[in-house]
Structure 1
């Protein structure tokens, strides 16, 4: 844990050090985001519950653009919990100009079905928007990071240790395309490479229904090159949710 605190302090200082040398003209202060929710409930011979929620907010303050993200997934089948995941992320970007920026990212995930009680990652680095036309966005982020994991009691007893930690190389590739006036396609890859390779891919299509209300279809794939002994390396999630932009 001491290493995690030291790494957090070093990485959080990076954008502030860069601010002194930047000359980019500050923009307006803006705040917005979107909230989405999807649920499936069945009763009778089969009783299942599936709930997916997500809140994604962005705050622009001059040269700074901050993102706050919360996700929750819960699944239950005939009284037995079959899926549970909670995820939170905070990212701060400091813009040098219209294309280049530096970032600091911290995220925390709770997913007991992976054999870990929790996983925390902090990273910092450089981002660049190769395409940003208003209708098409393609940007890449790279930088160093630090990852800390805590195993659950069962996995810790089998493995003989309680925690894992490592420095990682962090990378993000993001592509967004406005297909029509009312629909958008997004593809994002996130990877952390250290003692193992962990990746996340999210592919989604969003279509407006009316006003600020839209329907979102998404396929999410999570990959771990070295899962715990009784776990699979790949998890997939497919969901349909209602999205409200504000």
Structure 2
């Protein structure tokens, strides 16, 4: 009788513990799935070079590095790029830039965009041009093969003139559009446009790219960039354009 009582008591305890253990296993599996889903890291490195000879000897090197982390609440992205060009042994273009962006996700479609960037262009008439902005972002299209992000908000710009060393500062309004379309497997179209609108100066940037995959991690990319500055120092052009052909390694 005593053994029967012990067996019945053990079975009763097991009947209480098994559902709790099952629930804990489900929670652990869910946490593991979430951990496997976030964060998601990715990035790319680009390198391109062009050299011509004959009546004019020119050579140019342009490179770009980008890394992105997608999280459950925060997304982060970092971009670095450099461009140098020589003509008959004399440097004709030298530019470096960096952009960092942090997005605080509110939902699948809305987020807070925090953006900071700086550009140093040796031949632009500026020592540097830097911007910091924060605003509302909306994912107007969020599909597997197509994405469209819209961003708008206030910001601050600080520019330093190269000749005089004078610093220009002002509040700005920042608008941005980012479009990504996977045309077919291995072929992607990218368009990014931004406008930094200030009372004393405004800057518009556009970057259009077409990437074609060669194999698993390698691709070629054609890029056309346009930058327009409303007011520039003397002997500087308002519009600056670039056309690049690069080899891209994705990771």
Q: Look up the match of 2:134.
A: 124
Tell me if 1:179 matches 2:178: no
Q: Deviations over 1:25-69 (max 9, x none)?
A: 995111111111001234566432200000011012321100011
* Alignment partner of 1:58 out of 47, 68, 72: 68
* Alignment partner of 1:89 out of 86, 96, 99: 99
* 3-state DSSP of counterpart to 1:114: coil
Q: Please list, as runs of the form range in 1=range in 2, the aligned pairs for 1:160-199 lying within 5 A after superposition.
A: 162-194=166-198, 195-199=200-204
* 3-state DSSP of counterpart to 1:218: strand
Q: Distance in 1 between matches of 2:54 and 2:123?
A: 27
Runs (4+) off by over 6 Å: none
* Alignment partner of 1:38 out of 13, 31, 48: 48
Q: Deviations over 1:98-125 (max 9, x none)?
A: 1000011111110021100111111101
Q: Distance in 2 between matches of 1:196 and 1:74?
A: 27
Q: Distance in 1 between matches of 2:117 and 2:237?
A: 23
Q: Looking at CA atoms only, which structure, 1 or 2, has the larger radius of gyration?
A: 2
Q: Distance in 1 between matches of 2:241 and 2:203?
A: 14
Q: Distance in 2 between matches of 1:151 and 1:226?
A: 12
Q: Deviations over 1:51-88 (max 9, x none)?
A: 00000110123211000110000001111111111001
5+ residue gaps, structure 1, are 1-24
* 3-state DSSP of counterpart to 2:123: helix
Q: Distance in 1 between matches of 2:185 and 2:222?
A: 17
Higher relative contact order (CA 8 A, sep 6+): 1
Provide TM-score, normalisation by structure 1: 0.84
* 3-state DSSP of counterpart to 2:80: strand
Q: Distance in 2 between matches of 1:231 and 1:46?
A: 23
